Amino acid sequence: MNESKLQRDVFTQLLSLLGKAGITPEQLLNQSRINGMPTSENKIFSGIEAVFLLSTAAELTNDPYLGLRLGQQVGIASYSTFGFALMSCANLRESIDLLLRYGKVFFKPHWESENHNGGLLLWHNLTQGTLAQQRLIAELCFSQLSTIGSSLYRSRLEGAELQFIYPEPTDIANYQSFFNTKVVFGAERNQLFLPEHILDTPVKTANVSDHVVFHQQCEGMLRSLTTGEKVTTEVRRLLLQSAGDFLDISEIADHLNMSERTLRRKLNTESVSFRALFDEVRDLLATEYLTKTNLTVADIAHLLSYSETVNFRRAFVRWNGMTPSEYRQQ
């Protein structure tokens, strides 16, 4: 359940929006170069795949508001236990505490916060994909957050301010309408500012006894996630440490004192494959090399264990929607 249930619901709503535009699931998946759909609790798209899937949908529909519309379609029931826990919170402050502690079970990227100017800043860090893709994901995430808020609070949160890093568009009124709050552009990051005086805004469905039960259930899911991601974390760490001369799966299995078959099984239990982790690490390193070094594309391909530069270029386009040279020139 957890993240995969939420992802299935988001994917279902995305297909519904595409269907209204006359676009089939096959067209979306073929264009995205992704094989298969999330049809079971153990199948979820990787972060890179999800970003590319959504950006492809935006291209096919030519809808600049796709992320905003999609976020509006995902109701609080899609968050299952976490959604019920939010509904049982006493106030906005408690809801945010819940989001920060247990949101990692449901959201990628995870939400973060800091105190600022007599209030609270809430944001997420997204580094995958192009700037256009990051904008699309940011709008989806904040639209989801706004939809959750409309289920929890009786009135508009006066004084709240949504801030985006990109320049102010000509259609700013549409953004104000979508979010029903003040929206500004040209900020240092995509974030939501909540002044101190609204943090005690009561949740209209607050229930202390229900909150205790759902809080305990969320705590159990968090423990499962922490335990479940242990192998994934170790594999990712070993891949990063061996950059330049990557360990293969059998060598990593040896480092972890298990057979290759056991390692594959454990990764599958965590809804990830070795290939997906390897690609994730190589994409992370590739973007770092391109933005922070003067290495040639050929040199980077070699460091990432590609025998041919052209194969690296193809993979990079699949991950980021542009060539390495285009990414470097951003």
Closest CA to 303 of 326, 285, 325, 321: 285
Residue 165: the pLDDT is: 93
Structure tokens at 59: 């291209």
> pTM of this prediction?
0.68
List, in order of start, the domains of the chain with CATH numbers.
2-220 (3.90.1520), 229-328 (1.10.10.60)
Which residues does 79 contact at the CB level (< 8 Å), separation at least 6? 6, 86, 106, 148
Residue 35: the pLDDT is: 40
Distance CA 200, CA 90 (A): 8
Which residues does 166 contact at the CB level (< 8 Å), separation at least 6? 131, 135, 185, 186
Cα angle 300-305-310, degrees, rounded to a multiple of 5: 65
Per-residue pLDDT of the chain (330 residues; tens, 9 = 90+): 445 577 778 888 999 999 999 999 888 888 876 544 444 334 456 666 777 788 889 999 999 999 999 999 988 888 888 888 999 999 999 999 999 988 777 776 678 899 988 899 999 877 667 788 889 989 999 999 999 999 999 888 889 999 999 999 888 888 988 898 999 999 999 999 999 999 999 999 998 877 877 777 787 777 666 655 678 878 887 887 777 778 899 999 988 888 999 999 988 888 888 998 899 888 888 887 888 777 889 988 988 889 899 999 999 998 888 899 999 888
Distance CA 258, CA 230 (A): 14
Sign, CA dihedral 205-194-142-50, equals negative
Residue 42: the pLDDT is: 41
